[in-house]
Amino acid sequence: MILIECEQGSPQWHQARAGCITASMFEVARSRVDGLTAQQQKYVDALLAGKSEAEARDAAEYKAAPKAEAVKKALAGEPVGRPSDAALNYAFSLAIERISGIPLDNGFETWHMKRGHELEPEARMEHEMQTGLIIQRAGFVTTDDGAFGASADGLIGEDGGSEYKCFLAPEKLRAFHIDNDASGIMDQVMGCMWITGRKFWHVGMYCPALEPVGKQLWWREFQRDEDYIEKLEADLWQFKLLVDEYEAKLRQKAA
């Protein structure tokens, strides 16, 4: 990986991200429509997990094996469905940034983004106090080719890292504090481990409003999942091809 020393939210940070497919957007990059139904997905997952055809049918409550072309593609490891509008728009904005060399939004930050950057040092300090760990600030890291990157909020020793979220939305806070569910940011977390080569990642949900009950920081450790990362990487390379395609079309000279 390549480590770029910079403050998150700084002009250098925004510049480093320009044209780079970033971990915080991996979920958007992977989003597709017209894909498998929930029933078809159960059937495919069962077969890919090594279940017999009969067992897969039972798991998905099929009387006969589904014949849909989408199922055949999924079993063959091919992409199913088509990129969502959000994915298409993200790919197009990256293509423009590759050409211009600068962020398309000129480094604009929403209030929520600004708040997250301001609270991150507090979250990191609280994490260190609760765990006794020394967490190194990391800035921005990219793959060697610069195509993919991640704003690693912290690096732990030689094998770990950390990500801090400062959500305000009640449904997101509830997911962490009540349901112990961090699945909504797992593409980002596994993506950080993929890019950095690390073995584990700590996810922290920081909410200063919960300090009166001692729950200002919810955190959990997640281990590297090679199967997850393999699928993630395959989807992201497909997305990169879309960005390449848009860039090529934009660079074409008018006839």
Q: Which domains does the chain have, with CATH numbers?
A: 2-23+109-230 (3.90.320.10), 35-80 (no CATH)
- Who wins on pLDDT, 82 or 110? 82
Residue pair 139/54 in contact (Cβ under 8 Å)? The answer is no
DSSP type of residue 199: S
Helix, strand, coil % in the chain, rounded to nearest 5: 50, 15, 35
Q: Work out whether the CA dihedral 14, 15, 19, 20 comes out positive or negative.
A: negative
Say if residues 182 and 220 touch (Cβ distance below 8 Å). Answer: yes
| 125, β-bridge pairs | none
pLDDT band at 3 (very low <50, low <70, confident <90, very high): confident
Beta pairing class for 217-223 and 200-206:
antiparallel
**Distance set, CA 155 to CA 49, 131, 141, 164, 179 (Å):** 33, 14, 11, 12, 26
- For 60-103, write each residue's pLDDT tens digit: 999 999 988 889 988 888 878 899 999 999 999 999 999 999 99
pLDDT value for 17: 93
- The confidence score (pLDDT) of residue 31 equals 93
Confidence of residue 214 (pLDDT cuts 50, 70, 90): very high
Determine the Cα–Cα distance for residues 153 and 161; give it in Å rounded to an integer.
8
Instruction: Decide: pTM greater than 0.75.
Output: yes
Query: For residue 254, what pLDDT is reported?
Result: 59
Neighbours of 69 (CB within 10 A): 8
> In the block, which residue shows the tokens 């593609």?
73
* Position 19 pLDDT exceeds 60: yes
Mean pLDDT of 192-215: 95
Note whether 27 and 170 are within 8 A (CB): no
**CA distances (Å), origin 237, targets 79, 87, 147, 182, 230:** 11, 13, 10, 24, 11
In terms of residues, how long is the chain?
A: 255
Question: What span, in angstroms and rounded, lies between the C-alpha atoms of 2 and 142?
Answer: 5
Whole-angstrom CA distances from 142 to 1, 17, 23, 77, 162 are: 6, 9, 10, 27, 16
Q: How far apart are CA 230 and CA 226, in angstroms?
A: 6
Higher-scoring residue by pLDDT: 240, 111: 240
**What was the pLDDT predicted at 1?**
80
